[in-house]
Each structure stands twice: as C-alpha cells, then as structure tokens.
Amino acid sequence: MYPGARWAVAVLAVAAGSARGQSQQDAGLGPSEDAGVVLAPADAGVPSPVEAPVAVTARAGEGLQVSTPVGTFTLWGSAELFYQWNFNNPSNGLTQFRAFDTRHNTFGIQNVVLGTRWDARHAYARLTLQAGLTPFTSYLAEPALGGSAGAGATGPAFWHFLQEAVVGWVFDDARRFKVAAGLFLSPIGPEAMNLKDDWFWSRSNLFYGLPFYHLGVAASLALTERWTVSAGVVNGWLNVVDNNPEKSITLKAAWTSPREDFHLHVLYFGGVERPAGAPEGRGWRHLLDFVSTWQVNERVAMRFELNGGLEPTAFGLAGWAAAQLGIRLQLVPWLFLAGRGDVFFEETPAGAAPIFFPSPVVTSGTLTLEVRPLETVALRLEYRHDQAGAPMYFGGAVPADGRATFALQDTLTLGVVAWF
C-alpha cells in the first residue's frame, strides 16, 4: 500500500467515532465480525501509522465502523423532516407544548443528527451534534447566565447544537463496571430523543415535561446478566450549567428477562431544581419513574410508564402524577400501527410557579401509521389530540400579548426519518 493511502486510512479512523441509539444503554461496540472491507497491513520495512489490519464495515442502520488497533470508531447520522397541519389554525404558526413538532402548515426540519463514537478495551467516547427544531425546544429551559470581561455568558443558544458529549472508562474486560462524565441524554422514561429509535412522531406529555438531558458523572454496574444498577451526580433537571449551588442525584435499577423480551426499570431523581433566589425556596424535588417494555410476540410490543413526584415549597407542597401506555403492531414486515395515551396531573400551591404545564391536567391520544420502504427509512402519518384543563394551546387569531386561548389541539403530521 502506498504511504499516502495508509495515512488516509489513519485519518478516516480518527475522524469517525460514534453513539448509536439511546445513550443510556452504553453497550460497547467492538470490531465487527463480518467486515465488509479489509485493508491489508502496511508493507514490511515502510514506516506506517497503521501497524495492524484495519476493518471498515458499513451496515444498514448501523453506521460506518472502522476497527483499528486503538479501538473501533463509528459514524452515524439521521434526518427528520415533516409537514404538519394544526386544526386550530393558529395565526402565529405554533403548535404548543410539543416535543418537537412545533410548526403549523409548513415543511420543517425537526432534527438532523451526526453522531460519532470510539470504543476501546477500557475507554469510550461519544459526540453527537444536532440542528433543527428539536434542539431549540429541548434547550428552552437552559439557564441564561451572564458573564464578565474575563468569563463568557451561557444560555440556550450556546448549547443547542450539542446533543451528547461523553467520555467513559470501563474497569473490567467483561465491561460490567463503567464510569462516564459529560453531557448525556436523560435516563428517565422509555422514549428516545432520536426518532429512528421511537414508535411515534410526537413524544408524550411525560417526555416533554421531564428532563431531556443532564451534565455530570454517572456509573453503572451489571450485578448479573439480568440486573444492572446505576447512579449519577449531575448539575440538575435541565442544566448544562447549574442554576443553583446544589447538585442532583439519580439512582436506577433495571432488569431484563431471560428471553430479553421484557424490561423494567425503577429510577429516582432528586435535587433542588428551582433557580437561586426563587420565591418557592430551596425545596428538594423528588421524582420516581417506573418503566416496563414488553415484546409480546414478533408482531406486538407494549410499553408503560408511571411517573410522579413531590416538591416542598414556601407556599406548600407541589406534586404530580403521570402515566402513559403505548402499543405497537407490525401488520406486515413493512407496515406498523402504534397507539398511545397519556395523562399528566399536577398540583401547584397558590403563589408557586408550576413545574410543568400551565394547566392542572393535560392528556393526549396519538395514532401513528408507519411505512418502511427501506430498512433505514420510515414514513409516518400521525394524528394526535391534546386536551388540557385550562387554555394552553394557540388557535385562530392569537392575541397580541401571545396568550394561549384554546384547551384543545388536534394535529395531523406526515414525516420521514432516514438514518445510516
């Protein structure tokens, strides 16, 4: 092989690194066993940055993998495009309180994602970049904090292009004990940030209300083949940069059945989540999340989430309870039908700001038809009905002050997601 070609291979290997699927699972990606292309080692006696065979693999839906002596690098990506009609026909063109299909009567880019991952024997790293409506919505709650002549300010606009940035260490060859630090997707709930890994186009009210991401340190330990426990310390609920002096903690226990067709987890998240100086005070917010997923048979899958929590405030006790149930049917190999219902109750004492929604109750029902013309392309047609106990949606001529005047919202969305 010519020296220039060997250097090109080395550059490609270093440039490609990745995270496939949901970040919470963190299963290491090793060298592929059926590499599509194998490049021979360097000629003897010629200096080369590559001292062993480099295997390059490209599989549908699994990205581009490059296996080298210093680990496996993976590059993957996805694109989410949609058109939506909101039957309220809001004059401002906004579909309110959605994650993340938020625009009426327009073609939109919901998200474009490029992810990289590197896996070695005892180390791994992930970097995932994004652009579109999703990051602008997901970082809305990120605190905007000022800077100085010697320190820059921070806020949502600074971070929204970044979905994940994680560095981890594996302490044993069996990969049972791992520690990671950085920005990672929240382990709360069963839904995925990237649509290619989910059943529906829109996400539930639970997904919208609960955290999308955390920044901190987390550790996981596989006690057995079936039980895994994890713990973490993070800046807070939705904080790349913390909005108060306290830190939050997360504890999780997960179990998978011997046939790997049933999974459940119980998760606790706690911390002071109000910003410093908030009139509600420094109460510790407690969250408990229970999730189960069940692959009933080859054609039927179900998932259930029950979530609730409490927060003492200077005005009294605030709390919430929420649940969702989803079912997905595979009608034929290329056609799926999924349905979901969810409900979210919140009680806020007088004088305190609500934690989630400007309504004591929010419900939704969703029906999604999915066509898979290719293994890595999904077309989804989705009808969704939202209903609240108080006006929180836009409709018709939106008042000049931007007030929401509708308690109902119905949408029809046609979207396509493609990935490699």
CATH of the domain at 280: 2.40.160.10
- Cβ atoms of 169 and 179 within 8 Å: the answer is yes
Smallest CA-to-CA distance from 416 within 354, 371, 383 is with 371
Q: What is the pLDDT of residues 165-200, one digit of tens each?
A: 999 999 998 889 999 999 999 999 999 999 999 999
Q: How far apart are the first and last CA of the chain?
A: 29
**Domain total for the chain?**
1
The conformation of residue 34, written as its DSSP 8-state character, comes to S
The conformation of residue 89, written as its DSSP 8-state character, comes to -
Residue pointed to by tokens 């000022």: 146
Q: What is the pLDDT of residues 386-406, one digit of tens each?
A: 999 999 999 999 999 999 999
Question: The domain containing residue 339 runs over which residues?
Answer: 3-419
CB atoms within 10 A of CB 291: 21
Q: Could you read off the pLDDT tens digit of each residue along the chain, which spans 420 residues?
A: 444 444 333 333 333 333 334 444 443 333 333 333 333 344 444 444 545 578 888 887 889 999 999 999 999 999 999 999 999 999 999 999 999 999 999 999 999 999 999 999 899 999 999 999 999 999 999 999 899 999 999 998 889 999 999 999 999 988 899 999 999 999 999 999 999 999 999 999 999 999 999 999 999 999 999 999 999 999 999 999 999 999 999 999 999 999 999 999 999 999 999 999 999 999 999 999 999 999 999 999 999 999 999 999 999 999 999 999 999 999 999 999 999 999 999 999 999 999 999 999 999 999 999 999 999 999 999 999 999 999 999 999 999 999 999 999 999 999 999 999
Smallest CA-to-CA distance from 269 within 283, 281, 252 is with 252
Residue 92, both tokens: 């401002």
Q: What is the pLDDT of residues 34-63, one digit of tens each?
A: 333 333 344 444 444 545 578 888 887 889
Taking the C-alpha atoms of residue 163 and residue 286, their distance in angstroms, rounded to an integer, is 25
- Cβ atoms of 308 and 320 within 8 Å: the answer is yes
CA dihedral 124, 196, 269, 138 (to 10 degrees): 100
Cα 55 to Cα 50, 51, 65, 72, 75, distances in angstroms: 12, 13, 8, 9, 14
Smallest CA-to-CA distance from 156 within 75, 56, 276, 243 is with 243
pTM for the whole thing? 0.86
Residue 49 has what pLDDT? 52
Q: What is the CA radius of gyration of the chain?
A: 23
- Cβ atoms of 410 and 384 within 8 Å: the answer is yes
Residue 44 has what pLDDT? 43
Residue 258, both tokens: 């011997």
Residue pointed to by tokens 């830190």: 247
Taking the C-alpha atoms of residue 271 and residue 247, their distance in angstroms, rounded to an integer, is 6
301 bridge partner residues = 295, 328
Long-range pairs for 29-33 at CB < 8 Å and ≥24 separation? 29/65, 29/72, 29/74, 29/117, 29/119, 30/67, 30/72, 30/119, 31/55, 31/65, 31/67, 31/72, 32/57, 32/59, 32/65, 32/67, 32/72
CA dihedral 271, 273, 274, 280 (to 10 degrees): -40
Residue 37 has what pLDDT? 34
Residue 178 has what pLDDT? 97
Considering Cα of 304, then 193, then 322, then 394, what sign does the dihedral take?
Answer: negative
By residue count, the chain amounts to 420
Residues 6+ apart with CB under 8 A from 216: 181, 232, 233, 234, 235, 247, 248
Amino acid at 177: F
